[in-house]
Amino acid sequence: MKQITRHVRYAIALAASCALALPLSAQTIAITGGKVYPVSGPPIENGTVLMRDGKIVAVGKDIAIPSDAQKVDATGKWVTPGLVNAYTNLGFGDVGFSAGPRELRAKRGDGIASGFATWEGYNPQSTLIAPAREGGVTSALASPNGGLISGQAAIVDLMDAIALKDVIVKAPATMVAQIDDDESAKVGAKGELYGRLRDLIEDTKAYAHRKADFERGQTRDYVASRRDLEAMIPIVEGREALTVEAEQASDIEGMLALAKEYGLKLVIAGGAEAWKVADKLAAAKVPVLTGAMNNIPQTFSSLGARQENAAMLRKAGVAVALIGNGGGDEEMFNVRNIRYEAGNAVAYGMSWDDALRGITLAPAEIYGVSDKVGSLRPGREANVVIWSGDPFEFSSRAEAVYIRGKKVDSPSRQDMLEARYKTLPPEYNTP
């Protein structure tokens, strides 16, 4: 009996603390006095960011602050857009392989899962979202992996929510494919892989023109199901990005040729050897998602991996979004570490401004959401971070994080564990 009472009390305490942690309702907030990095324009010393009803309404030096605005003094602080991590598996599970599945890989046998709408398994309440936010990440591409066509990815905002519809920024944002690993792609060789891609593209085109015939069973067999072909239509029409994981320079060249032939809107992810074909990528206006923390010839297709990759691509004029590539589960547990990837990119030759752009506006532009996230401009979602200092430095922290104008500061599970065990023995009947 006594035991039950204690548990009930604990539950009540937890519920109360959660209620307290809920964000204030949207209102007018003015962040003043900070060094503001809009990314879409030059930095503003002693700038103001004004947000209202979840949107940014003004950014600049001499902004009139409405009397009803809540003022947040950011003197001595740095203010940036919320970071956009363009390659994560966030929301598709909390724990790795020995504790149940991560909802990010289709099980279909033929490696083509274009109809797989990954985000339908996205959980906005994953315990890994709060740590990501604490690292200043406010939006993420939640992406599938594996196979040849892995599935479709969405961009989500990392707010406290239960319903998927409340967090979606764009779904689908891109189709994801990978051509680096033949085994995962269910092919025996690259030549076979390109053949399968061509079949899929050509069948999609045929299907798109003959949907009625297809329904009546008056077409030849296509290589993919109706759902998969439907999902491929915006890809073959060049309306939606096709993000292809490829590492080797010759594979990237192969994809560039295929994209040109069929008019695809290609994005390269990984791109260990992209620096070798930087000029071609720039000429084709094909962006690259890559990191700055991998220099290991881990496979025979990534022998040229180097930390200068991102900087060299940028110098050649390629649009670069920075993603984690240094290991350590940066797709899920350590989505928060994207800012250190940017810092390392700077250490390996990228300009600081380009590095900040690489984790904010660049991914937003690549995936067609720059009208919503990635910069501090009027009309954008009020995703804003106040930093204690240079956001790329280990000694800096995100002091305040706003998503759609609401301050989000509910503690992460990790915070709770630290609080509990800071003094030993721990107190078990507090949250």
Partner 1 sequence: MRIVVALAAAISVFACTPAKASQAPAPKMAATGDTAAHSKDTVSTAGAGALSLPNADPYPSTYKPFPSKPTVIKNVTILTAAGPRITGGSILLQDGKIAAVGASVNAPADAVVIDGTGKFVTPGIIDVHSHIGDYPAPGVEANSDGNEMVRPVTAYVWAEHSVWPQDPQFPRQLAGGVTTAQILPGSANLFGGRSAIVKIVPSRTVQGMKFPGAKYGLKMACGENPKRVYGNKGGPQTRMGNVAGYRTAWIEAEQYRRKWDKWLKDRKGDPPARDLNLETLAEVLRGNILVQMHCYRADEMAQMIDVSHEFGYKIRAFHHGVEAYKIADLLAKEGIGAAVWADWGGFKMEANDAVRANLALVSQAGVHAMIHSDDPSGTQRLNQEVAKAMEAGKEIGIDVTEDQAIKWLTINPAWALDLDSKIGSIETGKDADVVLWSGDPFSVYTRTDKVWIDGALLYDRDDVKEQWRTDFDLGYVPLAGGAQ
Q: Which two tokens stand for residue 162?
A: 């239960």
State the minimum distance, in angstroms, from the CB of residue 403 to partner 1: 21
In whole angstroms, the minimum distance from the beta carbon of 324 to partner 1 comes to 11
Say how far apart CA 49 and CA 77 lie, in whole Å: 13
Cis, peptide link before residue 391, omega less than 30° from 0: no
Beta bridge partners of 243: 176, 267
Question: Can you give the length of the chain in residues?
Answer: 431
What's the Cα-to-Cα distance from 304 to each of 276, 294, 312, rounded to whole Å? 8, 10, 13
Task: Rank residues 28 and 414 by Cβ distance to partner 1 and give the closer one.
Answer: 414
The least distance separating partner 1 from the CB of residue 97, rounded to whole angstroms, comes to 6
Alpha-carbon span 250 to 272, nearest angstrom? 11
Between residues 88 and 344, which has the closer beta carbon with respect to partner 1? 344
Phi–psi pair at 150, nearest 5 degrees: -75, -35
- 308 or 365: CB nearest partner 1: 308
Task: Tell me how far apart the alpha carbons of residues 134 and 319 are, in angstroms, rounded to a whole number.
Answer: 27
| Minimum distance, C-beta of residue 227 to partner 1, in the bound complex (Å) | 32
CB of 386 to partner 1, least distance (A): 15
Do 366 and 319 contact (CB within 8 A), yes or no? yes
**Contact, 236 vs 201, CB < 8 A?**
yes
List the structure tokens of 9: 């009390």
State the amino acid at position 227 in one-letter form: R
Residue 423 C-beta: closest distance to partner 1, Å: 10
Residues that bind partner 1 (CB under 8 A): 94-99, 128, 275-276, 293-300, 303-304, 306, 308, 312, 326-329, 332-334, 337, 340, 343-344, 346-347, 392-395, 397, 414, 417-419, 421-422, 424-426
CB 292 within 8 A of CB 322: yes
**Cβ closer to partner 1: 128 or 267?**
128
Structure tokens at 83: 């970071």
How far apart are CB 105 and partner 1 at their closest, in Å?
15
Nearer to partner 1 (CB atom), residue 377 or residue 397: 397
If we measure between CA atoms, which residue out of 73, 116, 126, 156 comes closest to residue 367? Answer: 156
Bond before 38 cis per omega within 30 degrees: no
Residue number with CB closer to partner 1 (213 or 393): 393
Please say which residue, 66 or 76, places its beta carbon nearer to partner 1. 76
HSE-CB of 188 using CA atoms within 13 angstroms: 0
- Cβ proximity to partner 1: between 204 and 334 the closer is 334
From the CB of 304, what's the least distance to partner 1, in Å? 5
Measured in whole angstroms, how far is the alpha carbon of residue 68 from the centre of its chain? 34
